[in-house]
């Protein structure tokens, strides 16, 4: 099912560029010129090239804005534009056009277009842009609603909080791109908000993947450490007033460094690559205990980050070309639409893939060959088994809902590998099967001794930390849901 959904959205994604870039007109429109000018104004002067100004001048010329075109051709010449002959030709044409504007349409028939055709093409282009903006807004709000569902409905699972943060921030990024493209009012911050939110994306996905595995813990200290780049950028650009486009603050080396970091695509690439490696290491270590759907979902997230990395590398190499800069922003918007759509669909039809914790589901049975090099003797193994049973039956250590193999091994003063061997060989189970057996026995005992206990209380009193894992373990062992068992027990 997951592969089918992914293939379907890939197909839809392949069709979207036809809608995005089929403008149905020859040459650039006035709106294109304004977008080019806005983009150029947001660049640092030292990063603006002669080609940038020449392309803008050509756009102005094609739309009969001859005075502006002349000025930008002059600017391109001052920056040593390579094709001087072509540049001088256009300067002459602009001069003639400014002297005799009535005859300007006859100067270059291949470039100019009749007034009615130009107006019709501009109108068609505007309608397409507004339609796309509407689609982007709808999907962005879908993403925000999806994030709120993750925060509200699945808040007991920490991993869903991190996924919600990621979805919320890319949805805000999508909305901000719409603000740049709309023409109802001017939106021109010194630094785009999505450039700041970028530093939340990879850490949030990393923590989402890490916290899906019961044996991996995510502490608040670790979260803060990984979010430090975002916090620094946010404080620097918001608290210090760097977002105000009309504020001309004095030179500040620290702020200049922050500005460089959030605008440099190579730094962003390294940032994403680090987290891709971290996620891959988690996946590599746990892939043998994951079910197929969960494995495919984690792979999808890794591919998502990988494509973002390739996008940033390409953007770093071609960002000086306006056309690529313009197209790449649409690409990333459509890419976010694809991800949000996949996530929202999966959350609707297969929520367990997105929200459920991943526990060990070993298919390989313990064998003598597996532990043939182990130094654990038979006597030691029996002693550890006895110690383990005491902890489980007398101390009820399984009621600790943060219990892991490593934590239990530390409590027994033994390494986790020896403890795992004892559980596998002596009890013919894996760690999570053993612990859940005791937890379900505890749940059954509570149901039989406490009338009308609520399921949510039963979950935590029996040692589980989320509803999904509890229901799954309960039904596996008793072949019925907790509510069905309660009704059967209390009504008998």
Q: Residue range 238-242: average pLDDT? A: 55
Q: Residue range 234-261: average pLDDT? A: 59
DSSP class per residue in 349-391: H-HHHHHSPB-----SPP-TGGGTT----HHHHHHHHHHHHHH
Q: Say whether pLDDT at 241 is over 70.
A: no
Q: How confident is the model at residue 208 (pLDDT cuts 50, 70, 90)?
A: very high
CATH number, span 369-491 = 1.10.10.60
Residue found by looking up tokens 């654990």 in the block? 376
Q: How confident is the model at residue 48 (pLDDT cuts 50, 70, 90)?
A: low
27: which DSSP letter?
A: S
| Contact indicator for 442, 477 with CB cutoff of 8 Å | no
Pick from 78, 29, 88: nearest CA to 53: 78
Lowest mean pLDDT among 198-212, 227-241, 348-362, 472-486: 348-362
Spatial CB neighbours of 191, under 8 Å, sequence gap ≥ 6: 237, 242, 243, 259, 262
Q: Say whether pLDDT at 355 is over 90.
A: no
Q: How confident is the model at residue 38 (pLDDT cuts 50, 70, 90)?
A: low
Instruction: Return the pLDDT at 168.
Output: 93
| Contact indicator for 281, 248 with CB cutoff of 8 Å | no
Q: Say whether pLDDT at 393 is over 80.
A: yes
Q: How confident is the model at residue 166 (pLDDT cuts 50, 70, 90)?
A: very high
Span 289-298, pLDDT tens digits = 777 888 888 9
What are the b/e assignments for 180-208, b being 16+ CB within 10 Å? bbeeeeeeebebbbbbbbbbbbbbbbbbb
Within its chain, how far is the Cα of 182 from the centroid? 24
Q: Where are the domains of the chain?
A: 29-62+65-106, 115-244+253-355, 369-491
Lowest mean pLDDT among 45-59, 92-106, 326-340: 92-106
CATH number, span 115-244+253-355 = 1.20.1070
Instruction: Return the pLDDT at 204.
Output: 93
The residue ranking higher by pLDDT, 185 or 109, is: 185
Orientation angle between helical segments 322-349 and 50-62, nearest 10 degrees: 90
Q: What global pTM score does this model have?
A: 0.55
Instruction: Return the pLDDT at 145.
Output: 92
């Amino acid at each position: 099912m997951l592969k089918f959904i992914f293939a379907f959205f890939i197909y839809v994604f392949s069709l979207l560029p036809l809608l995005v870039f089929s403008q149905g007109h020859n040459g650039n429109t006035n709106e294109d010129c304004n977008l080019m000018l806005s983009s150029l104004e947001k660049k640092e002067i030292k990063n603006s090239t002669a080609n940038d100004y020449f392309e803008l001048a050509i756009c102005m010329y094609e739309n009969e804005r001859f005075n502006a075109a002349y000025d930008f051709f002059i600017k391109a010449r001052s920056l040593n534009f390579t094709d001087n002959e072509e540049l001088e030709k256009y300067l002459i044409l602009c001069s003639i056009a400014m002297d005799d504007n009535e005859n300007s349409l006859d100067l270059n028939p291949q470039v100019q277009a009749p007034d009615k055709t130009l107006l019709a093409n501009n109108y068609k282009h505007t309608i397409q842009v507004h339609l796309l903006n509407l689609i982007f807004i709808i999907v962005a709000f879908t993403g925000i609603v999806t994030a709120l569902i993750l925060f509200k409905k699945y808040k007991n699972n920490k991993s869903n909080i991190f996924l919600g943060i990621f979805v919320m921030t890319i949805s805000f990024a999508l909305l901000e791109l719409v603000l740049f493209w709309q023409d109802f009012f001017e939106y021109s911050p010194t630094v785009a908000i999505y450039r700041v939110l970028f530093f939340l994306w990879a850490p949030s996905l990393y923590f989402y993947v890490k916290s899906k595995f019961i044996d991996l813990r995510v502490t608040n200290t670790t979260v803060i450490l990984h979010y430090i780049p975002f916090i620094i950028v946010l404080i620097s650009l918001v608290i210090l007033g760097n977002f105000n486009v009309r504020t001309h603050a004095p030179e500040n080396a620290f702020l200049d460094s922050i500005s460089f970091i959030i605008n440099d695509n190579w730094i962003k690439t390294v940032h994403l690559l680090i987290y891709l490696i971290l996620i891959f290491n988690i996946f590599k270590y746990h892939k043998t205990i994951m079910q197929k759907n969960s494995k495919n979902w984690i792979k999808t997230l890794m591919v998502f980050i990988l494509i973002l990395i390739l996008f940033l590398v390409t953007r770093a190499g071609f960002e000086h070309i306006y056309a690529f800069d313009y197209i790449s922003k649409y690409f990333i918007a459509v890419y976010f639409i694809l991800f949000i759509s996949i996530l929202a669909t999966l959350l609707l039809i297969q929520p367990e893939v997105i929200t459920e914790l991943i526990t060990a589901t070993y298919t390989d049975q313990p064998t003598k060959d597996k532990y043939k090099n182990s130094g654990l003797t038979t006597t030691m193994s029996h002693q550890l088994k006895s110690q383990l049973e005491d902890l489980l039956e007398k101390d009820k250590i399984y009621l600790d809902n943060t219990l892991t193999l490593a934590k239990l091994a530390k409590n027994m003063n033994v390494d986790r590998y020896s403890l795992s061997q004892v559980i596998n060989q002596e009890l013919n189970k894996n760690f999570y099967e053993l612990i859940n057996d005791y937890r379900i026995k505890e749940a059954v005992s509570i149901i039989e001794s406490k009338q009308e206990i609520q399921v949510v209380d039963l979950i935590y009193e029996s040692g589980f930390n989320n509803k999904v894992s509890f229901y799954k373990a309960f039904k596996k062992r008793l072949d019925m849901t907790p509510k069905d068992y309660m009704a059967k027990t209390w009504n008998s």
